[in-house]
A and B are shown apart, each in its own frame.
Chain A
Amino acid sequence: MRELASLVMEYYAECHRAKAEGRPVGWMPPMNGGIEVFYAMGLMPVFPENYSPVCAAFGAAPPHFETSEAMGFSRDLCGYMRNILGYVHGDMHGPLEPMGGLPEPDLIMSFGGGCIPAMKIFQHLERRFPHAKVFRADMPQVALDDIKEHHVAYAVSEMHRFIEFLERNTGRKLDEERLHEAVNLSDEACRLFDRIMSFRRNIPAPFGASEIGLMFVMVTRQGTRTAVDFLSRVLDEVACRAEARQGVVEEERLRLFWDNIPPWYDLGLLRYFEKAGGVVVAETYSSAWSIRLDTGDPIRALAVKSLMSYPLVSCVSIDRRRDMVLRACRDYAIDGAVFHSNKSCVPITLGQADIMKALERELGIPSVTIDGDHMDIRNFSLAQFQTRADAFMETLLERKGR
């Protein structure tokens, strides 16, 4: 896990290298099957939404917000959107931009199957980079339980259209063997990620939510050997820690669940619970990257992945999300759940009330709501967070008889 920082730096360095070498750079949203196709074709995928947490962590988000808000983008819009639009309309390679900024896109892809802000981000990026070739996919927006064959068939046809677009605009041919390999690697990464996460069922858990940065590799390196090798090493490290019964805190007294995107500007907040022996051992957000792929049919696998990833964690499939949270809380022996009511992400926040009720009703697990924002610190009050977290932990400890 210590390697993560260098992995992050290496990814952004490669983005810049690709641009310098003339390897086409494409900007796209995360959580779709485009990434495996990109790596299989030797193209460089860049994820502007994923750059936003980096900006938040480096304190670069506030000036980006200032820029986009001055352009007229409302403070009520998702922080990823305000951050990235502020960034691209500012000095993109200025000294304050983390990782040297992002290389400008040669290609811009939007996949349609995400939330409205994700779609709008790319529509505005198209305007900002008019020379970039644009591909707009139509992945159907459908709840997991309602996915029918015609949705999959259409998603498959969109994947084919996407590949044709890339071949036409980059002059590169997709080698089926390489795609197969990328999908195998992607599936292997999901399997490893799942294994790593499942070690957190151990008591004590070998690592907590503040290590969630691990997801970076799932967002940016799906379909590569880099991801598989890195995750294999993490798995070994985590297995060792688990075997040695090495926990996050000296005495793990409370096991917590976190719902919604974490506050990227201060992941240390997730460790606040540790002062009372509380460790966040599972979260909803990371589940989006544990979808296994049917490697026998790579294009179909990527189409299905594109259909499933976003509904799995958002209000498109509240029922499925609720079941997933309930299952995780059971499997991970959770004492209490923390629901981040996240002003920057309505799609993930909607439905939380129902999930909280179900947790209490079906498993007797209490929850607390923390008001905040995963990007914009102005919508977060540390004092309120601490008061609520303290009171919650006090209640949980009392219930457990200390």
Chain B
Amino acid sequence: MEIRPGNPASPAEPFRRALSHRGELLEKAARACAGVIGTACTYTPFELVHACGFVPIRLWERPGVVEKAYGLVPGFVCPFMRRCLEEALAGGFRFLSGIVQAYTCDVSCGVVNVWKNNFPLQLCRSLALPYNDGARSRSFLRSELMGLVDDLVAIGGTFSEDSLRRSVDLYGRIRSTLASVLDRLGRTGALGAAETLTLVQAFFVTPPETYLDMLVRLEDELPCGAPPDESRVPVIVSGSVLEDGAVLDLVEESGMRVVFLDLCTGMRALVPAAGAGEDPLESVVDRIMNRTACPSRSLPGQRARDLVLQAESYGARGVIFLFQKFCTPHLADLPVVMAALKDAGVPCMLVEIDGNGIEGQVLTRLETFATIAGAA
């Protein structure tokens, strides 16, 4: 992701700076804790990794031309994962102790396995998640999570029920504060969509204690902001990973207003803030089971219902799908989801991101879409 120069007066500026310097900050953080553990997917429970004394982060992509990664993965896999590998090949993840990847998408898990063979890490493992919810699935997930704890302890972590309780509380606070900040921002229009994305992205790469401080400060200082510009067409942006907010600027330039970011790097990772349960591990299990589902974990009909409801509750008049090219889980559900939105009278369009920047025609397509959605 190219971190663009920011506006020093923007409330998002500290988050943009955290993103710009994430490499150095994480090198420092790695020295001060058991290590940094990466993941390419928000289903890896950050609180559990944190409870073992590690800083959990989400991997990021390298902007610019992909060269080295083409020798390791084919050209027809999601450009985000290819670019993450490129960043690793360029030395951008030297501070990582390990990667823990929840098995969600074939590409993220496959690329992590490729990673394992090319960069020595102390730990590289996947996490098997059940698709069904029930007593047996939950008990299996508990065992799987405890297996992860054992592996983290084996590479220098320490774990106790107390430490997990503290981490669950910490991440619960972060998610609920972030959700309320985003809600306020969505209702006031105080921040643009790309800046809003920056807030969320910083969550994935900043030690959580630091991030919570930044967030609380932002919440206190958040300008009331003018009411949203009602002349702009309210839309939901939905899709997989989005690292570069430039496309969101284009959406706004086309006369639309983003009211909800239904992305892996957006609200899907944040809801619900915490799970319920008698002990902290149970609450981690419960949160995984109840979190807003990504297409890799849900049925197409469920995704369609979720999006129709979101469109209703946010008053969205259109949905723009932003997918990484070749993203199987999202592409596989798309026909059903689009049909449901069409039946609900919500127009939608698809923009695929191939990692080489946004083509000029996209702006024209967005402008046309804004007209259609505005008239719908």
Using CB atoms and an 8 Å cutoff, list the residues of chain A in contact with chain B: 71-74, 76-78, 81, 112, 115-117, 119-120, 123-124, 126-127, 136, 138, 140-143, 146, 148, 150-151, 153-154, 157, 161, 314-319, 322, 341, 343, 346-347, 349-354
How distant is the Cα of A123 from the Cα of B302 in the complex, in angstroms?
A: 11
Set B105, B114, B130, B140: member contacting A353, Cβ < 8 A: B114
Given A73-B332, A346-B107, 9 more contacts at CB 8 Å? A76-B326, A120-B333, A141-B128, A142-B103, A143-B125, A316-B113, A349-B76, A354-B117, A354-B118
Chain B residues near A317: list those with CB within 8 A. Answer: 113
A116, B301: Cβ atoms closer than 8 Å: no
Question: Considering only CB atoms, which chain B residue lies closest to A321 in the complex?
Answer: B113
Query: Beyond A74-B334, A123-B300, A136-B131, is A353–B71 a contact (Cβ under 8 Å)?
Result: yes
Whether B325 sits at the interface, judged by CB under 8 Å, is yes
How distant is the Cα of A112 from the Cα of B296 in the complex, in angstroms?
A: 11
B126, A350: Cβ atoms closer than 8 Å: no
Report the 9 A-B pairs with minimum CB-CB distance, sorted nearest first: A315-B110, A72-B335, A350-B110, A140-B128, A150-B143, A120-B332, A141-B103, A154-B140, A318-B113
Set A77, A154, A315: member contacting B332, Cβ < 8 A: A77
Chain A residues near B331: list those with CB within 8 A. Answer: 73-74, 76-77
How distant is the Cα of A315 from the Cα of B336 in the complex, in angstroms?
A: 28
A346, B131: Cβ atoms closer than 8 Å: no
Whether B310 sits at the interface, judged by CB under 8 Å, is no
Set B73, B118, B300, B338: member contacting A350, Cβ < 8 A: B73
Set B113, B296, B301, B333: member contacting A351, Cβ < 8 A: B113
Whether B77 sits at the interface, judged by CB under 8 Å, is yes
Chain A residues near B113: list those with CB within 8 A. Answer: 143, 315-319, 350-351
A157, B74: Cβ atoms closer than 8 Å: no
How distant is the Cα of A142 from the Cα of B125 in the complex, in angstroms?
A: 9
B109, A315: Cβ atoms closer than 8 Å: yes
Query: Beyond A117-B332, A315-B110, A341-B74, is A146–B117 a contact (Cβ under 8 Å)?
Result: no
Query: Beyond A315-B110, A354-B118, is A77–B143 a contact (Cβ under 8 Å)?
Result: no
A346, B106: Cβ atoms closer than 8 Å: yes
Question: Considering only CB atoms, which chain B residue lies closest to A73 in the complex?
Answer: B335
B199 to chain A, nearest CB (A): 30
Set B77, B137, B339: member contacting A346, Cβ < 8 A: B77
How distant is the Cα of A325 from the Cα of B131 in the complex, in angstroms?
A: 32
Chain B residues near A146: list those with CB within 8 A. Answer: 125-126
B300, A124: Cβ atoms closer than 8 Å: yes
A117 to chain B, nearest CB (A): 6
Query: Beyond A81-B332, A115-B106, A151-B128, is A353–B296 a contact (Cβ under 8 Å)?
Result: no
Q: List 19 A-B contacts (CB under 8 A).
A: A116-B328, A116-B329, A120-B329, A123-B299, A126-B299, A127-B300, A140-B128, A140-B144, A142-B126, A143-B125, A150-B147, A157-B136, A315-B110, A316-B110, A318-B114, A318-B116, A343-B76, A349-B74, A350-B74
A141, B126: Cβ atoms closer than 8 Å: yes
Q: Which of B301, B326, B335 has the most CB of A within 10 A?
A: B335
B110, A347: Cβ atoms closer than 8 Å: yes
B289 to chain A, nearest CB (A): 12
Chain B residues near A353: list those with CB within 8 A. Answer: 71-73, 114
Whether B132 sits at the interface, judged by CB under 8 Å, is yes
Question: Considering only CB atoms, which chain A residue lies closest to B117 in the complex?
Answer: A354
How distant is the Cα of A140 from the Cα of B132 in the complex, in angstroms?
A: 11
Chain A residues near B128: list those with CB within 8 A. Answer: 140-142, 151
Chain B residues near A154: list those with CB within 8 A. Answer: 130, 136, 140, 143
Whether B29 sits at the interface, judged by CB under 8 Å, is no
A138, B106: Cβ atoms closer than 8 Å: no
Question: Considering only CB atoms, which chain B residue lies closest to A342 in the complex?
Answer: B74
Chain A residues near B143: list those with CB within 8 A. Answer: 150, 154
A71 to chain B, nearest CB (A): 5
Whether B111 sits at the interface, judged by CB under 8 Å, is yes
Chain A residues near B136: list those with CB within 8 A. Answer: 154, 157, 161
B110, A72: Cβ atoms closer than 8 Å: no
Which residues of B84-130 are within 8 A (CB) of A? 103, 105-107, 109-111, 113-114, 116-118, 125-126, 128-130
A346, B110: Cβ atoms closer than 8 Å: yes
Which residues of B135-154 are within 8 A (CB) of A? 136-137, 140, 143-144, 147
A78, B328: Cβ atoms closer than 8 Å: yes
B332, A116: Cβ atoms closer than 8 Å: yes
B144, A150: Cβ atoms closer than 8 Å: yes
B115 to chain A, nearest CB (A): 10
Chain A residues near B76: list those with CB within 8 A. Answer: 76, 343, 346, 349
Chain B residues near A81: list those with CB within 8 A. Answer: 332
Q: Please encode chain B, from 49 to 81, with 1 for each CB lying within 8 Å of some chain A CB and 0 for all others.
A: 000000000000000000000011110110000
